[in-house]
Structure 1
Amino acid sequence: MIIFPAIDLKGGEVVRLAEGDMDRATVYGDDPAAQAMIFAEAGAEHLHVVDLDGAFAGESRNAEAVQAIVERFPGYVQLGGGIRTPEACDFWFNLGVARIVIGSAALKDPQFVKDMAREWENGIVVAVDARDGMVATEGWAEVSTVSVVDMARRFEDAGVASLLFTDIGRDGLLKGCNIDATLDLAQRVDIPVIASGGVKGLDDIHVLSLHAHEGIEGVITGRALYEGRLDLAAAIAMGARV
């Protein structure tokens, strides 16, 4: 099971939001590339990066910071936030990003996602962000009438690499990952699922790892790492056992 330490970018700084609220941001650093190297030194081979400003704007707003991360991090970088055109996908893949996460565009233009999944094999991750079971878009500022499972099923057999499932109500709050909802999604679709939102410690990693064989590909963790509640090396070691 892959452990993805998260770097969320707002105004060029490393931050974490509470429930996706841009007005509830905690700043953890002003050098994203240096933070990426801290994670690499702890053993991380994968990194999850989000351009928060880009998610709201619909286009890149922290490109310089993202480029610096990609240039320095020796592993695989997964990037999301405002990537909604073929040109944007081409730009980031050609720069060295391993996977691109598409959320808002996946709901509003599913054909775009399918086209990109065909063009960039194993490169597209669909973000299924849930607020009370319904898909949220536009940096989680809008909630749709589409259920998480219905959204996910649109992309079965489309060639997407994974689904990134986030329980917004837990994100950044250290309440614990919504394992039941994550597992339910993984069991109802044929696409690997990455868990996100609320990871508070090694117990979450342990429980998720027990279900890795049921379609849980990995887990994203942010605030727990930044606040010292989760040891990244220990989490990676635990994930490697399954």
Structure 2
Amino acid sequence: MILYPAIDLKGGQCVRLRQGDMAQATVFNSDPADQARRFASAGAEWIHVVDLDGAFAGRAVNGAAVEAILAAANQPCQLGGGIRDLDAIEAWILRGISRVILGTVAVRDPDLVRQACRKFPGRVAVGIDAKGGRVAVEGWAETSELTVEELALRFEDAGVAAIIHTDIDRDGLLQGVNVEATAALARRIKTPVIASGGVAGLDDLRRLLAAGGIAGVVAGRALYDGRLILEEALALLASARAQTPERNPRKTQLC
């Protein structure tokens, strides 16, 4: 299981929201490049970046901050937020993003996801943000009628690199990750699943590991406020990886 430390961008700064509410943003670092360097120096294998303003605008807003992050750290970065067409996907990949995350467009235009996967194999993930079990879109401002499972199953044969499952009701609250829902999704589909939302400490990582079959986890606020020490978390996951040979390489690849 891979840990993805998160950098959420609002107004060019690193922030964390509570339940996706842009009005409840806490600034943790005004310099995203500095934050990326800190994660990199601690040994992070990937960095998870979200352009929050872009998610609402439907286009890149914090592009300069993303480029600064790419320049500051050699770790692969995955980026979501406002990426809605092939041109935007290609532009970010050419700038150095290792993987783009498609959220709203996965609901609005699933054919685009398939096209992107064909054109950029292994470089496209689908972000499924859940509120009350239903998929939320447009920066979490709207809730669709689709269930998480229904949306994930649409892309089983598309070549999606990973499904990033975020429980909005827990995001930023440090109340614990939704292990049950994430593990159930991982059992239901072949695509690797990354858990997101609510990680509060090492116990959450232990619970995800115990559930089995979960490829990764995104952590944000807990890392920023010190409840989760990145070096300790990475050591825990490295130890678990060494002790447990993976039975299904696709599920637990370094995605």
* TM class, shorter-length: over 0.9
Alignment of 1:58-207 (within 5 A): 58-207=58-207
**Hey, what does 1:232 align to over in structure 2?**
230
Cα distance between partner residues in 1 of 2:110 and 2:164: 16
Cα distance between partner residues in 1 of 2:72 and 2:62: 16
TM-score of the superposition, structure 2-length normalised? 0.93
Cα distance between partner residues in 2 of 1:210 and 1:36: 29
Secondary structure of 1:16's aligned partner? strand
Write out per-residue CA displacement over residues 22-77 of structure 1, whole angstroms, 9 at most, x where no aligned residue.
00000001100000000111111200000000000000000000001011111110
Q: CA deviation at 1:136?
A: 0.2
* Residues 179, 208 of structure 2: 8 Å contact kept: yes
Q: Percent identity?
A: 53
Cα distance between partner residues in 1 of 2:162 and 2:96: 19
Write out per-residue CA displacement over residues 93-123 of structure 1, whole angstroms, 9 at most, x where no aligned residue.
0011000000000000000001001111111
**Hey, what does 2:39 align to over in structure 1?**
39
Q: How many residues align?
A: 240
**Unaligned 5+ residue runs, structure 2?**
242-255
* Residues 79, 100 of structure 2: 8 Å contact kept: yes
Secondary structure of 2:83's aligned partner? coil
Q: CA deviation at 1:210?
A: 2.4
Cα distance between partner residues in 1 of 2:122 and 2:236: 25
| TM-align CA RMSD | 0.7
What amino acid is the match of 1:11?
A: G
Cα distance between partner residues in 1 of 2:29 and 2:96: 24
Cα distance between partner residues in 2 of 1:132 and 1:153: 19
Cα distance between partner residues in 1 of 2:211 and 2:97: 28
Q: CA deviation at 1:209?
A: 1.8
Secondary structure of 1:228's aligned partner? coil
Cα distance between partner residues in 2 of 1:99 and 1:210: 27
Cα distance between partner residues in 2 of 1:58 and 1:99: 18
Q: CA deviation at 1:196?
A: 0.2
Write out per-residue CA displacement over residues 172-203 of structure 1, whole angstroms, 9 at most, x where no aligned residue.
00000000000011111111100000000000
**Hey, what does 1:223 align to over in structure 2?**
221
Cα distance between partner residues in 1 of 2:233 and 2:210: 13
Cα distance between partner residues in 2 of 1:101 and 1:210: 26
Q: CA deviation at 1:211?
A: 3.2
Q: Which consecutive aligned stretches of 4+ in structure 1 deviate over 3 angstroms post-superposition?
A: none
**Unaligned 5+ residue runs, structure 1?**
none
* Residues 9, 49 of structure 1: 8 Å contact kept: yes
* Residues 45, 74 of structure 1: 8 Å contact kept: no
